[in-house]
């Protein structure tokens, strides 16, 4: 079965510091996509970053970057220079090619001034 595991229910970080959120997944597929979504308290889910499994280079979007380890089936999100607006639930999601998204249980990130 394809599963996504986020082992950190909650994380906290000081403003301007760096935090890493962990995600592991289980699949027998070789072609798939991985995503990190942010869900602020207003509940509108926003895509933060995506990674294609066939790409060896880790994706980066401004202050957000991933560490994609395909063999280990690990996909962590690093947030640099954390800001108060980064506080939210973060969901890791996996999608086999053209199939449905499978989400993890989420990590609540708190950012302290």
Partner 1 sequence: EAGVAQSPRYKIIEKRQSVAFWCNPISGHATLYWYQQILGQGPKLLIQFQNNGVVDDSQLPKDRFSAERLKGVDSTLKIQPAKLEDSAVYLCASSVGTAYEQFFGPGTRLTVL
Q: Is the dihedral of CA 95, 21, 77, 26 positive or negative?
A: negative
Six-digit token pair at 68?
A: 């994609």
Is the distance from CB of 11 to CB of 22 less than 8 angstroms?
no
Mask for 43-62, x = binds partner 1 (CB under 8 A): xxxxx--x------------
CA–CA gap between residue 16 and residue 102 (Å, rounded):
31
Q: Answer yes or no whether residue 111 interacts with partner 1 by CB under 8 A.
A: no
The single residue among 21, 53, 93, 109 that binds partner 1, judged by CB under 8 A, is: 93
Binding flag, residue 97, partner 1 (CB under 8 A) = yes
Please state the closest distance from residue 12 (CB atom) to partner 1, in A: 18
State how far Cα 12 lies from the chain centre: 15
Query: Interface with partner 1 by CB under 8 A: which residues?
Result: 4, 42-47, 50, 91, 93, 97-98, 100-101, 103-106
């Amino acid at each position: 079965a394809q599963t996504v595991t986020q082992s950190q229910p909650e994380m906290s970080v000081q403003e301007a510091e760096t935090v890493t959120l962990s995600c592991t997944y289980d699949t027998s597929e070789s072609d798939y996509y991985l995503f990190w979504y942010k869900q602020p308290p207003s509940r509108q889910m926003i895509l933060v970053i995506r990674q294609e499994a066939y790409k060896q280079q880790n994706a980066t979007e401004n202050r957000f970057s991933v560490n994609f380890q395909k063999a280990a089936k690990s996909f962590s999100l690093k947030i640099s220079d954390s800001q108060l607006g980064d506080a939210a639930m973060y969901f890791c999601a996996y999608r086999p090619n053209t199939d449905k998204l499978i989400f993890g249980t989420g990590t609540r990130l708190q950012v302290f001034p």
